[in-house]
Structure 1
Amino acid sequence: MTAGDPLGADALRAAALLAWTSSPTRLREDAATESDLVSAGYRDRLLTELAQNAADAAARAGVPGRLRVWLDGARLRVANVGSALDATGLQALSALRVSGKTDPAVGVGRFGVGFTAVLAVAEEIELRSTAGSVLFSASRTRAELDAAGLAAPAVGVPVLRLPWPTDEQPVAGYDTEVVLTLRPEVDGPGLVARLADEAADLLLELPALETIWVDVREFSRSERDLGDGLVEVTVGERTWWQFATAAARWLVPVEGGRVRPVGADVLRAPTRSDEELSLPAILIAQTTLQPDRRRLLPGVTVAHLVEGYADFVAALPVSQRLAMVPVPGFARGEVDAVLRESLLRELTTHRWLAGVTGELLAPTSASVLPGLSEELAELLGEVVPGLLVAELSGPRGAQALSAAGVHRIGLARLAEQLSGIHREPDWWGRLYAALDPLVVDSVAVEELAAIPVPLADGRTVTGPRTVVLGHDLGLDVRGVDWVRLVHPAAADPLLARLGASAAGALEVLTDPALRAAIEDTDYEDAFAATELADAVLSLAATAAGQGTLPGWLGELLLPDSDGALHGADELLLPGAPLAAVLADDAPFATVAADLVERHGAPALTAIGVGWGFTVLRAELPTGPDQDLDDEAAWWATLTDDPEELLAVRDLDLVAEAAWPAALSLLAAEPATRALLADRDGYTAWWLRRHARVDGVPLGALRSPDDRTYEGLLDVLDHPDAAALSGALAADRVDSVATAALLLDRLADPERAPGPAVVIRVHRLLASATASGALDLDALSPPTGVRAMSGAVADPADAVVLDREWFAAAIPLDRLVVGDLADAEALAELLDLPLASEAVQAEVLGAGRVSTWDREPDAVLAHVATGLPLPEGSVVVHERLTVRLSGAVQADVEVPRWVDRDAVAHWNTRGVTPGGR
C-alpha cells in the first residue's frame, strides 16, 4: 500500500491478473460467477445491496444511517455515512466470494458478492471513500487482458476483480459514495423512480438507516412507543405497528388507526427474499439464506421465528386482533406453509384473546357468542366461562376465531348454561332485551326454547312457552300463582316471540286455574284466603274497566267487618245502597273496611261485592245451574241455550215494599239498566213474574207510552218506567200468565177498554193461540167476554165473528171480534162458537142477477171504503133482508150477504158494507 493507493488496489489487481495468467480457467470461472450473480441472484437488488452496506457502515460507526441517491447526468451516485471503505472491505468486494463482515451482530454484509448488483446498470463503477477510493472498469479490464495475452470470456470480463486506485473523494457530508456510469440503454430517471419505491421498505428492514434521499424526495423513519412492546413506525405518510420478539420483528400497516393485514409479502432476512409468505404481518428476521440471498439454505428451520407472535397480537387493540389471524388458504410455498402452521399453533396455545371479565384467554379456553353486544357481555361475564368480548364476536371475526380454534356457543348452548343459575328478575329482563337482536329466525326461537324464566311467585321455570306475560298487571303480583306469570321486571317482548302467551289482568282473572284455586280455598285457612284475595283484588283494580269478570269470582273468600270469611258475592260495601232495599233476612254482611282501603271499591265490586245489584255472567250455559231464583222456570221458556247468560242476582232478596227503590237502583247502573230492556232475558222475566209495585206484578203494568192494553192494564207510576220496558206488559202475548191476565181484565166490568183495544187484544190472544205459544190446558175459560159494544157478555150468549157480513146482523153486545183469519183460535181460547156456525141465515126476496162492475152504487161504495171490488155475479136487492135463526133469531136488513151457496147479495138502499 502507498499514499496513492491506501487500500492496496494495485496489489489486488496484480494478484488477480497473475491468477488469470497462471490459470485461464480461473478467469472464465470469475467471469461466469460474476455474470451469474448479476443476471440471477442480484439482478434487481441495486438499492437493497447498497442500502445494506450503508446500514452496516452506520452501525459500525454508531451513527444514524443516512443514504442519498441522485442522478448526475449519465451517472447514478449513491452516498452514505458511517465507516469508510477499508482494505479488508475492498478485498471482500473484489474477491466475489467472501465478505469483510467480522461481527455477525452488526450488519448483514459488507462489500461482499451483493455489490455485484451494480453491474446490472453500469460497467464503470467508482467507490469513493474518505479512507481511499477505487475504480472498477470493464474497458480497463479488457485492456489488461489484451496486454496479458488473455482472451476475454464469452460471458464478458469480470469487472469487479480488478480495482484501480483513484484520488476522488465522496460528496461532502458523506463517508462513502458509489458512482455508477450507467450503460446507454439504462433509463436513468426510470431507475431513480424505481429506487424511490423501495425506500420505505428498506427503512423498515434496516433499522440502522434513518433517512434515505432519492433525488429530491426524502424518506425518514420515526418511531413512537405505544406501550406493551408495540412501536409505531412512520415513513412519510405510511404507518406500521411494529413488535419485536427474540427471533423476529413483526410489522403491520396501519390506516386510520386500524391495522391492514398484509396478506401477500416475502420473508425479509432482513431485506426482501424470494420466499413468498401469506402472513398478516411483515416478518423481518435474521436467518440463513443462500449466497444470492434469494432463498433459505436447505435444512434451515423457521418455525421458531413465530415465537412471541401471540404477544404481538395481544398488544394490539382488542377489536383489531382477529385481523392478525391467518385465514384459511393455500400456502405460497414450503416456508410459508411451515410459518402459517407454526403461527396458528402459537395463537392457539397462547393468551391473546380478550375475555369479558378482563382476562386474556387462549383460544382453547375461550368461547364466542356470535352477535354478542356490550350489554349482553356484561350480563354473561360470570355465567359463561371464557366468553370473549363483544368486539371479537362480530361476523367479520368468525373465520379467524374458527381458524384459531375458539369454541362457538349457539343460543341453545347458552340456554343450557343459564339453566340453574339464580339472578334477580330485573337481570333476566335485561338479558332478554340484550338477546332480542340475536333472535332473527325460527331456528333461534327453537334454540332458546329452554331458557329460564323467573315467575312472579319467586319460582324460575324452564322455557317461555309455559309462561304468561302480564302487560297491565302492575308490579305487586307475588300472589298470582295460579298461572305461570312472568315477573314484571323480567317481562320483555322477546318472551312473546319465544312462545310466551300474553295476558292482561282480565285474562288472568278468567283463567280456569284461578277458579279451581278459589274452590279449593279452606274457610279455616284465613292466611291463604287473604293472600289469594289480595292477589285477585290487585288485578281486579286494573281489570275493572276492561270488561266483565266471570261470576265465579264472587266465590272468592273475603273477610267481613267482624273478620269472618264470606264469598265476595255475599258481601256489601260499607254504605251500599243495595242494603236499603233488601229484606231483613237477606244473607249479606259488610266487607272489611281495610280491604276497601287497600284495594278500592271498584276492585271489590268487579268481583261481586255489592254496592248496587250484581250482574252474573256465564259463557255458554247449558242449564239452570247458576243458582238464580226460579231459574228453571225461566229456562223452560227458552228454545235454545243462550251463548251468554247475563242476569241480575239476588232479586228474590228485595223487600216487598222496597221495589220502587229497587227499580230505581236497577235503572241507575248501566250494567243492570241494559238487562231491564231485554224482555227474553232472565232479569226482565223475573221482574214481570215476581216484582210488585203496590201489590201489582210488573208484568200486569204498562209503560206510559204503551197504549196496547189501554183501559185493561194500569200504567206503572215510576220515574224510570221507560227503562223498564222489558219488565212490563209487552205488545204481544208471550206467556200463559199474560193471556190469563188479559182474559181476566177483559172479563172485569170495572175495566173500560175502547173497541180498538178490545179487538187488538183479541187479535194478540188469537195469534198466540194459533201459533201454539199458549198451553190452553193451563188456562181456564173466562167467566165473561168483552163484546164489541164494550159490555162484558155472558159466554153462553156470545159468538166470535168469523164472516164479515155477520157483523151487520148480530147485535154488538153479543159479538166478540178479533182477526177473522184467527177467529177459530179465538173461539177455542174463549170457548165460544163461531158466528157462522151458531147463527143460520136465509135471504128473503128474489132480487135481480147482475155483476159487481155493472152496479154503480156497489162500485162507488167499494171505492169510498177502499175495499176491493169483488168479481163475478151478484144478486141485487132493493131491500136486502136476512132471516136469522139459531143463536140469534130476527129479520135484519143488511148491506150485503153471502148465502150458504156462496151467492153474493147486494143492498141498493145505500147502506155501506159493514154498516147497519
Structure 2
Amino acid sequence: MPGELWVRLDGCVLSVANTGAPLDESGVQALVALRASNKSAGTVGRYGVGFTAVLSVSDEVELRSTSGSVAFSSRRTRSALAEFDGADPGADVPALRLAWPTDHRPAAGATSEVVLTLRDTVDATALLAHMAREAPDLLLELPSLASITVGGREFRRREHSLASGLTDIAIGDDHWWQFESGRARWLVRVVDGVVRPSADDVLRAPTRSDEELSIPAMLIADVAMQPDRRRVLPGASLAEVTVGYADFVAALPPKQRPALVPLPGFARSEVDSALRERLLTELREKPWLPTVGGKDRAPNRASVVPGLSDELAELLADIVDGLVVPELSGPRWAPALAAVDTHRIGLARIAELLSGIDREPTWWARLYAALEPLAVDALAAEELASIPVPLSDGRTVTGPRTVLLGHDIGDVLGVDWTRLVHPEAAHPLLSRLGAKTATAVDLLSDPALRAEIEDLDHDDVAAAAELSTVVLALATHAEPGALPSWVGELLLPDIDGELRGADELLLPGAPLAAVLVDDSPFASVDPAFAERVGETALRAVGVGWGFTVLRAELPTGPDHDLDDENRWWDTLDDDPETIDAVRDLDLVDEDRWATALTMLATDPSTRPLLADRRGYTAWWLRHNAELDGQALGLLREPGDDTFTGLLDAVDHPESVVFAAALASPAVDSPELAQLLLDRLADSRRQPSPAVIVRTHTLLGAAAAAGVLDLDELHLPDHVRAVTGAVIDAGAALVLDKPWLSAAVPHDRLVAGALDTGEALADLLDVATASAAVRSVVTSTGRPVSWELEPTAVLAHVSIGRPLPHGKVVVHPQLTVSLTGALDVEVTVPWWVDEDGTTHVSASWAAATWGVPDAR
C-alpha cells in the first residue's frame, strides 16, 4: 500500500507517524539489538538502523503501533541499571537497549508513530524546517512512500510513465525523470522539459550515504553497505549498478543526451571513480548517440563534425558514416562527446571523404555554402585545399587552387582547355580557397585554346561545331576587340557550308565588303548560323563587319601576316610591347579609300589606331592608301600650314582623326622629302617665303640627322629662292652665315636654318654662300672693345645672347668688296671678316646699340 508519513510538532514533542506494516515482536528485537530490520525489500524502514538517529534530539522515545507500543528512555534505563547492579545513576547509558511497553496508540489514520520529547537544547522549529527540506529526497529514495506531511505542508509524489520508458516523478512543482535498471534507479531533475544534471551528490542506498559522487544523475542503488550505512562495503561489486545507464541516456530526448555524460575531472571518492569509469565504458560502447538519419550509434562508432549545420548534415549523411546530428555538434557538447571517444572529423577529413564522390554541380554548390561558415581562418582553408571541384566540361578535379571561377560569363559549359568551375557549382568559398577569377577574355586568351583551334581538322565538322559553340558562348561576354587575333582562326561554316577561319568570314551585309577588291579572299558566314549565335559573338572572334584589329602581346618579329610588315618593323627602334594593327588594308580597292577611311575613323576599335603615328596602321596608310590619286602620307591635314602651297590638303570629313596617316610637320621619310624637292622646283606652286624657309629648314634637319639617304633622292634642276623664285641650282647659294644675307641677292639665296646650312647645301647639291663668296672690308673704322661698350653689353643682355670677346670695328659707312660667285662692292650694316673680326656701321650700331653717330 502507498505509504503516508506525517510529522507534527506540539511544543517540545515531535511525532512522526506513518502507514504501513505495524510493529511486531521481531521488529522490537531488531530495534533493541541495533541490527537490520526484518522487513522485506521495497518497504520503508527495511534497514531499521536509521532509528538510532532519534538520539540526536531526544532521550525519551515512544514507538506507538496499532499492534502494540514501546518506549525508550535514558532516565528509566539508567534507573533500571542502578537497581540491577548499583551503576552510577549519572552515567551514560544505551538508551535504545531496553524497551518498556506502553498503552499509547498511534494517531488516527497511522499504523505507527514515533513520539520524541525533544531536549531543551534542540531548536524544534529549525528541526522541522530541515525535515521539510529533506522530504522530496526521501520520497525519491523510498518509492513505497507516497507522501510526507511536515507541519501543515504536504509533499506528495506523483508518477506517470513516458513513452520513452522513463517515469516522470513530480513532487509539488518539481519534476524528475526516473529510469530503473537492475539494481539501480537513475533520476535527473527536469525543468521545462530540459534535464538539469547534478553538479554533486552522494550515493543513495537507498537513502543518503557519505559516498560523494560527481556523476550527472542521482543514483539510488542496491549496494552492499557497511553496518552504519555510510560507506560501501569494501569489495562490493558496482558492475551491476551501472548496467543500463546507456539505456537511461538513450531514453532522453536526443538533444539532451550528452548532458548525462560524466565529464573529465577529479573523482570525489573511490566509489565515484569506479562508477565514472564503468559509466563511460558503457556509454562508449552502447548505442544512444543520435546520428543523421534517425539511428542511434555507439559514440565510439560515430563521428562528429564540429559546427555541423542542418544543410551540411543532409549533404554528408551518406558520405560520413554515423554522423552525429547537428544539434549535438556544437562546442557545448564537445567535451562530452570527446569523453565517450566520438570520432572528431575536421575539414581535411571531409575533403578526403569527398574524393571520388560523383554529384551534380548544384549539390557541390550547396556543399560549399554549407562549409563556408566553417572556413574561418587560414588553417581551415588549408584543410579544404583538396576539396573536389566540378568543372564546366563534366570533369571533377581536386583543389580550388587549380581552377578558375568565371566572372560575368553566364552559364557557359564545355570549356575543356582550362579548369573552369561549372557555373552551377560556383561559390565565393572557392575564391577564399585559392580559385582565381577569369573573365571571358581571360578564357579566350588561353594558349591552350589556341592549341585546340590550331589542331582542328577542317574536315571534322562535329569537332569544329563543338568547340565553336563554347567559344562563341564566351565571346558574347567579351568586349569588342579585346580578344587576341588568333581566335580568328576558329573554324566556322561559310555560306557554302565549308569551314573557314572566323577572320576569313564576313557577316551578311557587312560594310567591309563594299570597300574590298572584287577578288578578296573573304566569304560570307552561313546566314542561319549567324542568326543562331548572334552578331556580337561572331564579331568578337573576328568575323568581319568592319575592319578587324590584330592584337599581339610581346611580339618578337614581323610574323603576323600583315602586309609590308617587315618594312614597318625596320622603322622601330625596339620591339614593341604589343601590336595593335588593322588587318587586310591591302585588300581595299584603291578607288574606295574615301569610304574605307570613314569606316576606320568611325569604328571605335580602329579609330584609336589611326592616331598612333609610329603604329603599323597609320604607317601603312601613309605609304599605301590613296585619295584622289595621291598617297595619304603626301597630303597634309587642312589645319597644318607647315607645307602650305607645297602639299595639297586632304579632302575628307574625318581627316582630323587620321592626321597621323598624313604628312608629318617634319620631314620623316624619303618620299616626303622627294615630293617637297619636286614641289619647290615646280613654278606652278606658290609657297610663301616663310613656307620656303621652313621647308628648307626641315629638309636640312632631316639630312643632318641621317633620315634621308641622299643617293636615293632625285634632285631637280631647279631650286626655290627665298623670294619664291624658281632658279637654276647652279646659280643658287645656300645661306650659311647671317651677314651674307645682306650681300647676296635674295633671288639667288636659298635660306633655311643656318646651323644646318651645309647639310641643306649637300642635299640640294648647291654651294654655300660662305664657300662661294670671298670678301674684303674696304672701309676704315674705329676699333672698340665689346666689354667697354655699355650699350652693346645691354643690347646683348636684352636679346639673351652672350657678349662677344675681343674687338669690334665701328665704320662710318661699312663697305665690303666681294669676289668669287659675286664680283661687286656692297655697303652692309655689319660683317665678319675672314679673320673673325666683327665690323659694324655706325648707323647700324646706333640703331642696335644706341651708339651716337658722332662716335
**SS in structure 2 of the partner of residue 128 of structure 1:** strand
Task: Please report how far the alpha carbon of residue 698 of structure 1 lies from its aligned counterpart in structure 2 after TM superposition.
Answer: 0.4
Give the match for residue 665 of structure 2: 731
**SS in structure 2 of the partner of residue 213 of structure 1:** strand
**SS in structure 2 of the partner of residue 469 of structure 1:** strand
Cα distance in 2 for residues equivalent to 1:858 and 1:107: 141
Cα distance in 2 for residues equivalent to 1:69 and 1:712: 135
Give the match for residue 130 of structure 2: 194
Query: Which amino acid counterpart does residue 528 of structure 1 have in structure 2?
Result: A
- 1:742-891 equivalent positions in 2, closer than 5 A: 742-850=676-784, 873-891=807-825
Task: Work out whether residues 82 and 89 of structure 2, in 8 Å CA contact, stay in contact via their aligned partners in 1.
Answer: no
In the alignment, structure 1 residue 89 sits paired with structure 2 residue 24: no
**SS in structure 1 of the partner of residue 72 of structure 2:** strand
1:488 to 404, 415, 423: 423
Give the match for residue 446 of structure 1: 382
Query: Which amino acid counterpart does residue 271 of structure 1 have in structure 2?
Result: T
Task: Work out whether residues 43 and 144 of structure 2, in 8 Å CA contact, stay in contact via their aligned partners in 1.
Answer: no
In the alignment, structure 1 residue 520 sits paired with structure 2 residue 455: yes
Change (3 A) 1:858 1:316: closer
- 1:114-513 equivalent positions in 2, closer than 5 A: 114-151=50-87, 156-477=92-413, 479-513=414-448
Cα distance in 1 for residues equivalent to 2:685 and 2:162: 116
After the TM superposition, which of the residue ranges 741-750 and 142-151 deviates more from structure 2? 142-151
Change (3 A) 1:264 1:857: closer
Cα distance in 2 for residues equivalent to 1:360 and 1:384: 15
Q: How big is the alpha-carbon RMSD for the aligned residues of Structure 1 and Structure 2? A: 2.6
Query: Which amino acid counterpart does residue 668 of structure 1 have in structure 2?
Result: T
Change (3 A) 1:663 1:156: same
Cα distance in 2 for residues equivalent to 1:438 and 1:287: 48
Q: What is the TM-score of this pair, normalised by structure 2?
A: 0.94
2:832 to 898, 913, 916: 898
Task: Work out whether residues 412 and 474 of structure 2, in 8 Å CA contact, stay in contact via their aligned partners in 1.
Answer: no
Task: State the identity %.
Answer: 61
Task: Please report how far the alpha carbon of residue 157 of structure 1 lies from its aligned counterpart in structure 2 after TM superposition.
Answer: 1.6
**SS in structure 2 of the partner of residue 566 of structure 1:** strand
Give the match for residue 670 of structure 1: 604
2:468 to 510, 527, 533: 533
**SS in structure 1 of the partner of residue 477 of structure 2:** helix
Cα distance in 2 for residues equivalent to 1:866 and 1:279: 106
Task: Please report how far the alpha carbon of residue 77 of structure 1 lies from its aligned counterpart in structure 2 after TM superposition.
Answer: 2.5
Task: Work out whether residues 622 and 632 of structure 2, in 8 Å CA contact, stay in contact via their aligned partners in 1.
Answer: yes
Task: Please report how far the alpha carbon of residue 169 of structure 1 lies from its aligned counterpart in structure 2 after TM superposition.
Answer: 4.1
Give the match for residue 851 of structure 2: none
Task: Work out whether residues 357 and 382 of structure 1, in 8 Å CA contact, stay in contact via their aligned partners in 2.
Answer: no
Task: Please report how far the alpha carbon of residue 688 of structure 1 lies from its aligned counterpart in structure 2 after TM superposition.
Answer: 0.4
Give the match for residue 43 of structure 1: none
Give the match for residue 27 of structure 1: none
Query: How many residue pairs are counted as aligned between the two chains?
Result: 848
1:646 to 580, 586, 597: 580
Query: Which amino acid counterpart does residue 198 of structure 1 have in structure 2?
Result: E
Task: Work out whether residues 273 and 293 of structure 1, in 8 Å CA contact, stay in contact via their aligned partners in 2.
Answer: yes
Give the match for residue 17 of structure 1: none
Q: Which digits, 9 at most, give the CA deviation of each residue in 1:452-509, with x for residues without a partner?
A: 22111111222222222213221131x2100111111111222223232221212111
Task: Work out whether residues 857 and 910 of structure 1, in 8 Å CA contact, stay in contact via their aligned partners in 2.
Answer: no
**SS in structure 2 of the partner of residue 534 of structure 1:** helix
Q: Which digits, 9 at most, give the CA deviation of each residue in 1:425-451, with x for residues without a partner?
A: 111111122122222333333333332
Give the match for residue 24 of structure 1: none
**SS in structure 2 of the partner of residue 356 of structure 1:** coil
Task: Work out whether residues 698 and 728 of structure 1, in 8 Å CA contact, stay in contact via their aligned partners in 2.
Answer: yes
Give the match for residue 3 of structure 1: none
Cα distance in 1 for residues equivalent to 2:231 and 2:648: 125
Task: Please report how far the alpha carbon of residue 892 of structure 1 lies from its aligned counterpart in structure 2 after TM superposition.
Answer: 1.8
Task: Work out whether residues 830 and 844 of structure 2, in 8 Å CA contact, stay in contact via their aligned partners in 1.
Answer: no
Cα distance in 2 for residues equivalent to 1:618 and 1:166: 123
Cα distance in 1 for residues equivalent to 2:692 and 2:143: 128
- 1:688-703 equivalent positions in 2, closer than 5 A: 688-703=622-637
Cα distance in 1 for residues equivalent to 2:89 and 2:720: 159
Task: Please report how far the alpha carbon of residue 859 of structure 1 lies from its aligned counterpart in structure 2 after TM superposition.
Answer: 9.7
Q: What is the TM-score of this pair, normalised by structure 1?
A: 0.88
Cα distance in 2 for residues equivalent to 1:239 and 1:388: 29
Q: Which digits, 9 at most, give the CA deviation of each residue in 1:619-650, with x for residues without a partner?
A: 11111111100011001000011111111111
Task: Work out whether residues 366 and 406 of structure 1, in 8 Å CA contact, stay in contact via their aligned partners in 2.
Answer: yes
After the TM superposition, which of the residue ranges 482-491 and 130-139 deviates more from structure 2? 130-139
Task: Please report how far the alpha carbon of residue 714 of structure 1 lies from its aligned counterpart in structure 2 after TM superposition.
Answer: 0.6
Change (3 A) 1:165 1:628: same
Cα distance in 2 for residues equivalent to 1:187 and 1:859: 131
Task: Please report how far the alpha carbon of residue 611 of structure 1 lies from its aligned counterpart in structure 2 after TM superposition.
Answer: 0.8
Task: Work out whether residues 544 and 602 of structure 1, in 8 Å CA contact, stay in contact via their aligned partners in 2.
Answer: no
Task: Work out whether residues 629 and 652 of structure 1, in 8 Å CA contact, stay in contact via their aligned partners in 2.
Answer: yes
1:109 to 34, 46, 55: 46
Give the match for residue 907 of structure 1: 841
Give the match for residue 590 of structure 2: 656
Give the match for residue 646 of structure 2: 712
Task: Work out whether residues 743 and 826 of structure 2, in 8 Å CA contact, stay in contact via their aligned partners in 1.
Answer: yes
In the alignment, structure 1 residue 550 sits paired with structure 2 residue 488: no
Q: Which digits, 9 at most, give the CA deviation of each residue in 1:217-262, with x for residues without a partner?
A: 4433333443211233333443322222233211122345432322
Task: Work out whether residues 490 and 502 of structure 2, in 8 Å CA contact, stay in contact via their aligned partners in 1.
Answer: yes
Task: Work out whether residues 468 and 486 of structure 1, in 8 Å CA contact, stay in contact via their aligned partners in 2.
Answer: yes
Change (3 A) 1:860 1:231: closer
In the alignment, structure 1 residue 67 sits paired with structure 2 residue 2: no
Task: Please report how far the alpha carbon of residue 358 of structure 1 lies from its aligned counterpart in structure 2 after TM superposition.
Answer: 1.5
Query: Which amino acid counterpart does residue 41 of structure 2 have in structure 1?
Result: P
Change (3 A) 1:833 1:121: same
Task: Work out whether residues 202 and 271 of structure 1, in 8 Å CA contact, stay in contact via their aligned partners in 2.
Answer: yes
Cα distance in 2 for residues equivalent to 1:861 and 1:565: 81
Query: Which amino acid counterpart does residue 367 of structure 1 have in structure 2?
Result: S
Task: Work out whether residues 37 and 45 of structure 2, in 8 Å CA contact, stay in contact via their aligned partners in 1.
Answer: no
Query: Which amino acid counterpart does residue 473 of structure 2 have in structure 1?
Result: S
Question: Structure 2, unaligned stretches of length 5 or more?
Answer: 849-855
Task: Please report how far the alpha carbon of residue 180 of structure 1 lies from its aligned counterpart in structure 2 after TM superposition.
Answer: 1.4
Q: Which digits, 9 at most, give the CA deviation of each residue in 1:11-38, with x for residues without a partner?
A: xxxxxxxxxxxxxxxxxxxxxxxxxxxx
Cα distance in 1 for residues equivalent to 2:349 and 2:800: 92
Q: Which digits, 9 at most, give the CA deviation of each residue in 1:103-132, with x for residues without a partner?
A: 33444517x332111011110112233444
